[in-house]
């Protein structure tokens, strides 16, 4: 309860600073909180916000979901089968260090400007932190515990599910959080570089025309999506923490 109260107090302070900034700066640069609320009501009534939100969420969840389905298994394979990990890690790190924006022209050439291109851009941004953190978690397994389990005749499948996978869970969750953040950023980037649609499209339109109240609505909507995803992953972390404690070798 104290944390919730602190968060509300901090939010109130931020809104107060926002209002103060709106009184000190030209209105066409920083709208007041009330003007932003009115703009949000207009966008919702016109259907623009919900339509753009649906478009952005569909491609964001699509790209992020594919990144999870690829990144976690690939990271676990690299971490559990060491020759594969040692072979591939240099290429994974090289791809991770390459700006994703560099791939956008090639993606557009091959996939056009449709949702497939956007999903691939989001996937490329989200998959690397998920894969790398999963790989690190698998490598961080307690080797003494693994050797002890082998000495008593535990099967490889049981060692994996009860020692290696639970030990990798904290690393995987870190990767999921970072991947979710980068994936959300890449959603906006994808919508700006491809067909100008979704929240990224509205962000470009309102920013270019200096309709800052509407612009702030889109920015706050993106921030809200980030908060919801982070809290969902936090809830998942609590549930998986209980599962980790229950997984013991009998």
pLDDT bucket at 2, cuts 50 / 70 / 90: confident
Please give the domain boundaries of the chain with CATH numbers for all domains.
48-246 (1.10.3720.10)
pLDDT tops 80 at residue 22? no
Query: According to the model, what pLDDT value does residue 73 have?
Result: 93
Work out the average pLDDT over 8-35. Answer: 81
Task: Check whether 243 has a pLDDT greater than 60.
Answer: no
The chain-wide mean pLDDT, for the chain, equals: 82
Contacts 24+ apart (CB under 8 A), 95-99: 95/128, 96/128, 96/129, 96/132
pLDDT digits (tens, 9 = 90+) for 48-106: 888 888 888 999 999 999 999 999 999 988 888 888 888 888 888 888 888 877 888 88
In this prediction, residue 127 carries a pLDDT of: 93
User: Mean pLDDT over residues 185-189, rounded?
Assistant: 88
Specify the pLDDT at position 132.
Answer: 93
Average pLDDT rounded to a whole number, residues 208-232: 87
**pTM listed for this prediction:** 0.83
pLDDT at 5 over 90: no
131-150: pLDDT as tens digits: 999 998 888 876 666 666 66
Separation CA 234–CA 170 (nearest Å): 11
> Which tokens hold the place of 111?
């996939």
pLDDT band per the 50, 70, 90 thresholds, residue 117: confident
Half-sphere exposure of 240 (CA within 13 A, CB side): 17
Residues above pLDDT 70, as percent of the chain: 84
At residue 26, the 3 state secondary structure works out as coil
- 124 to 5, 19, 109, 114: CA distances (angstroms): 38, 38, 16, 16
- List helix spans (H) across 194-211: 198-208
For residue 182, is pLDDT > 70? yes
């Amino acid at each position: 309860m104290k944390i919730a109260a602190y968060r509300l107090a901090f939010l109130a302070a931020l809104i107060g600073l926002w209002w103060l900034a709106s009184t000190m700066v030209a209105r066409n640069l920083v709208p007041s909180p009330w003007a932003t609320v009115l703009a949000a009501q207009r966008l919702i009534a016109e259907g623009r916000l919900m339509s753009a939100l649906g478009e952005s969420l569909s491609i964001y969840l699509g790209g992020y979901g594919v990144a999870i389905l690829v990144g976690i298994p690939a990271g676990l394979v690299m971490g559990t089968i060491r020759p594969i990990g040692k072979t591939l890690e240099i290429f994974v790190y090289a791809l991770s260090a390459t700006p994703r924006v560099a791939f956008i022209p090639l993606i557009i050439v091959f996939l056009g400007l449709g949702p497939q291109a956007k999903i691939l851009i989001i996937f490329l941004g989200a998959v690397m932190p998920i894969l790398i953190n999963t790989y690190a978690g698998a490598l961080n397994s307690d080797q003494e515990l693994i050797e002890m389990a082998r000495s008593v005749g535990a099967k490889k499948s049981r060692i994996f599910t009860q020692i290696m996978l639970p030990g990798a869970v904290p690393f995987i969750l870190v990767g999921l959080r970072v991947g979710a953040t980068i994936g959300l950023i890449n959603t906006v980037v994808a919508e700006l570089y491809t067909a100008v649609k979704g929240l990224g499209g509205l962000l470009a339109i309102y920013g270019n025309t200096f309709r800052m109240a509407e612009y702030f609505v889109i920015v706050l909507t993106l921030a809200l999506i980030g908060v919801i995803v982070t809290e969902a992953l936090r809830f998942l972390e609590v549930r998986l923490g209980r599962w980790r404690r229950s997984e013991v070798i009998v």
